[in-house]
A and B are shown apart, each in its own frame.
Chain A
Amino acid sequence: MIVGKQKPFDEIWDMVKGFKKVLVYGCNTCVAICHAGGSKEAELLASMLRMRAKQEGLDLLIDSAGIERHCEPEFFEPLDEKVKTYDLILSTACGVGVNFLADRLAGAIPVYPGINTSFYGAVPEAGFFVELCGGCGNCILHLTGGICPIVRCSKSLMNGPCGGTDKGKCEVSSETDCAWFLIVERMKKLGTLEKLFEVQPPRDWSTATHGGPRRISLEHIRAYEAEEEKKATLTGEGK
């Protein structure tokens, strides 16, 4: 899932204080699970902002709301009218949600981010999140025992550990496992260590963020949707 962390309160306050009517808008999917931007966090943040506004003597109306997801248009619809009555939307969704809502509002109302979107991660234990995938668009986990060297190695090395591995830990921090140490140990257990002996050539990074914004289009689904829409228009006309 997408993991984020709420921005420092003072930073949020600086974003918000010049406005009159603000909606703190939560998203109840990924960022709710990491306690950063669900309806609950949006509600608390709104209350804190109101208290700050009161102390600063600012006449600021701050409400909160939340919807299931900020990355699909259907979920926005029930609140569209309400949203239009504010002069700032402070979104506590991930960066995808902020972008998507800003596009939807098309410059009519600004959308500001309430959280820092951090990484794709897992939750090995409650309240603890780790990055496990870089979303590079060209997966090689079959070659590395299911451990991603692109994000779990601090140098994204593709051909084995650097000289900085110390007692199985990364040179960047003694609290970070060396990904290549883990990969070698995993491959030994799997009995496939020899897969690591081949030199991996330079990667094509154009599938990562280096080839411009990425898109995936499922033509069979889009064709079906278009057909359904056409049918609906036809029957509509028939009436």
Chain B
Amino acid sequence: MKSGSNLERVIASGKMAVTAELGPPMSADPHEVIHKAGQLKGFCDAANITDCQTAVVRISSIAAAFIAQREGLEPVMQMTCRDRNRIAMQADLLGAAALGLKNCLCIAGDHQKFGASGKLKGHPGAKNVYDVDTCQLVGIMKKMRDEGLQQGGDKLEVAPKFFIGASWTPMGDPMDFRPYNLKKKVDAGADFIQTQGIYDMELFKSQMEKARNLGLHERTAILAGIIVPKSAMMLKYMDSSVAGVTVPKELIDRMNKAKAAAGDDKKKMRELQEQEGIKIAVELVQQALEIPGIKGVHIQAIEWESAMEPIVKAAGLYPRPVLPAE
């Protein structure tokens, strides 16, 4: 075992892994984290704790991960390359390990300009760091864990033992390079991969085939990302505005149909769309799990944590395995 985390044990056991997502609040109040952790607990093997997603200031990933862990939910702390240089990164990794955190996902992070969208002001004038990129951060973490060395070469008395993750956008531009992008992250030392949300399963299958041809499915655990759709509007938005995400027309049509069935009843409109969204998510999960080389799913019910339970149950992924620590 590299880290001994629950996620690592589930993957090592050969069972399909399930991860979820928990976004910390823009507040110093821990209760939202505790509440969300309660909703997710038992329905996933670990939950990603985002690191100031969309470049908006929130409870830090490490602190929120620690709170979640205290609540009995295994966290995957996320670390962006946007906000820290290699000194802060490694210091935070040591601190996280000292707090008992065992999983870490490396991502580039949304650009700070993202923060100023919608009603939020964000910090578009912030200075970003990008001292190292995702591949390099993965490499640093691996070197710390396996060699007991800092990036600069200094020794660590006790090495932080992390199960190292990286993200992958299989359908982003330039698409023919994306499998190699994954290969670089695996070469750098990524133990598991969580993908960007997938709606177009056929396209994902062809990208997975390329990844398999490079032998990557044997060297890392690829978890397919599923973003639970909540409404037809959300699907349309994801299709047009979210990079690397395309939504097949038939899915949007299904949501529109569910919406239309409610007539003028706004409440019912929402309920029917949510029901259909959960149904679509379950189907996507089942389709993804059939793709050769897939080791699990990363289900993101964004600000809708209560959806995890019905999805995991309907997909036949409940109860989650309980594996003893070594």
Chains A and B touch (C-beta atoms under 8 A apart): yes
Contacts of A201 in B (CB 8 A): 136, 139
Mark interface residues in B177-211 (1 if CB within 8 Å of A CB, else 0): 10011011001100000001000000000000000
Task: Please pick, from B114, B131, B184, the residue contacting A202 in the complex, using a CB distance under 8 A.
Answer: B131
Mark interface residues in A185-213 (1 if CB within 8 Å of B CB, else 0): 10000000100111111110100000000
Q: Flag whether A142 is at the interface (Cβ < 8 A).
A: no
CB closest residue in chain A, given B134 = A159
Q: Which of A44-52, A94-102, A164-172 faces chain B?
A: A164-172
Q: A154-B111, A196-B180 are in contact. Are A161 and B173 (CB under 8 A)?
A: yes
Task: Please pick, from B86, B130, B168, the residue contacting A156 in the complex, using a CB distance under 8 A.
Answer: B130
Contacts of B167 in A (CB 8 A): 163
Q: Which residue, A178, A193, A198, A199, has most C-beta atoms of chain B within 10 A?
A: A199
Taking a contact as CB atoms under 8 Å apart, the answer to whether B174 and A164 are in contact is no
Mark interface residues in B248-263 (1 if CB within 8 Å of A CB, else 0): 0000000000000000
Taking a contact as CB atoms under 8 Å apart, the answer to whether A202 and B140 are in contact is yes
Mostly, the A contact residues are: loop
Mark interface residues in B85-115 (1 if CB within 8 Å of A CB, else 0): 0100000000000000000000111110110
Taking a contact as CB atoms under 8 Å apart, the answer to whether B174 and A184 are in contact is yes
Q: A155-B130, A201-B136 are in contact. Are A164 and B110 (CB under 8 A)?
A: yes
| Size class of the A contact interface (CB-based, 8 Å) | 20 to 34
Q: Flag whether A130 is at the interface (Cβ < 8 A).
A: no
Taking a contact as CB atoms under 8 Å apart, the answer to whether A202 and B86 are in contact is yes
Taking a contact as CB atoms under 8 Å apart, the answer to whether B133 and A155 are in contact is yes
Taking a contact as CB atoms under 8 Å apart, the answer to whether B183 and A164 are in contact is no
Mark interface residues in B125-156 (1 if CB within 8 Å of A CB, else 0): 00010111111100110000000000100000
Q: Flag whether B295 is at the interface (Cβ < 8 A).
A: no
Contacts of A165 in B (CB 8 A): 169, 172-174, 243-244
Q: Flag whether B81 is at the interface (Cβ < 8 A).
A: yes
Taking a contact as CB atoms under 8 Å apart, the answer to whether A199 and B135 are in contact is yes
Residues of A in contact with B (beta carbons under 8 Å apart): 154-168, 171-173, 178, 180-181, 184-185, 193, 196-203, 205
Q: List 9 A-B contacts (CB under 8 A).
A: A154-B111, A155-B109, A155-B111, A156-B133, A162-B134, A163-B172, A173-B113, A184-B177, A202-B86
Query: Other CB < 8 Å A-B pairs besides A160-B177, A165-B173, A180-B174, 5 of them?
Result: A155-B130, A162-B134, A193-B177, A196-B177, A200-B135
**For the complex of A and B, 4 pairs with smallest distance between CB atoms:** A163-B169, A166-B243, A159-B135, A162-B108
